[in-house]
Amino acid sequence: MPYQPDTHLVLVLLGGQLSAWAVSTVTPARELLLQAQPQLPVSTAPALAGALIDVRERLDGEGIDPVALHWLLDDAGRRLATAVCARDGDGLSMPWQMLDWHWLAKRFGLPADASPGSEHLQHEVLPWLVCNDGSEERQQQRDALHREHEDEAQRLQSERSRLQLDNERLRAQNQAVQRVDAERLASFLPALFPRVFTLIGPVDLALLCGRLEPLAIPNPYPEPSEETLRVLQKRFRDLPRDLQQQVVDFVAHLPQRQRLVVRAEMRGLVTELEEG
């Protein structure tokens, strides 16, 4: 869930004119309308209490629950706000503080009678309020970003581990296929060519098949018996066409191919496969 910054409610009551602002540490101060106008004349505590309730209901309708209320007041405004804060049921369920406007104006080099809607108020005083009071919020934001970073790092690590396992599995499968191919060649080459392993040694055959380990082929390799040759040749003929083609194609690209003579009983099939 994206990080949602805390919102502070600021009520400014100067010279009998009330304005309301929603402020956070990451968004510009937003002026809230009071009875459809930016400033509302307020001269009594009940009027101020009603305006506060109206602002709270408006923010609640926007799904905003302010974390704090800041009053910016002159002397008359402080008397009204004190009366409101002393009452119950005025929506003051959040922490609040009262700040003297004359002190703030002096701190920021502003005239004491500056308009509540002035640029200095919006761009200097209000941001200072939430930043001065927002160390906890800023820490929450840093913590949220840190958690997001950790979650992303954990996701990437999991993805990397999965890819490594996939690579290892594919490598093992590839090695198994290479072993099967080498064993197929070792079993069927004598059925196709006489004295084949005197021309293609076990080390060369293994390397050509992509293996580092040499095949266990004795040297000199004894010629199979007639009965064994017939069995091997029948097994070769029974192989699927693509596997027959694989064996013959492998031999066809060897430099030793010109020195190999196909057995007479297999010559027709090997020629057909080589030409196909």
More confident residue, 139 or 244: 244
**229 within a domain of the structure (yes/no):** yes
97 domain-assigned: yes
Look at residue 2 and tell me if it is in a domain. no
Residue that the structure tokens 């009204």 belong to = 80
125 with 198, same domain: the answer is: no
Note down the domain range covering 39: 8-133
Whether 2 has a pLDDT exceeding 50, the answer reads no
More confident residue, 187 or 2: 187
pLDDT at site 120: 74
* Residue 117 and residue 20 share a domain: yes
Residue 211: its pLDDT value, please? 67
Q: What mean pLDDT do residues 35-57 have? A: 89
Query: Final residue of a domain: which of 133, 161, 191?
Result: 133
Whichever domain contains 115, its CATH number is 3.30.420.40
Give the model confidence (pLDDT) of 113-145 as tens digits: 666 566 777 778 888 887 754 455 445 555 656
Mean pLDDT of the chain: 79
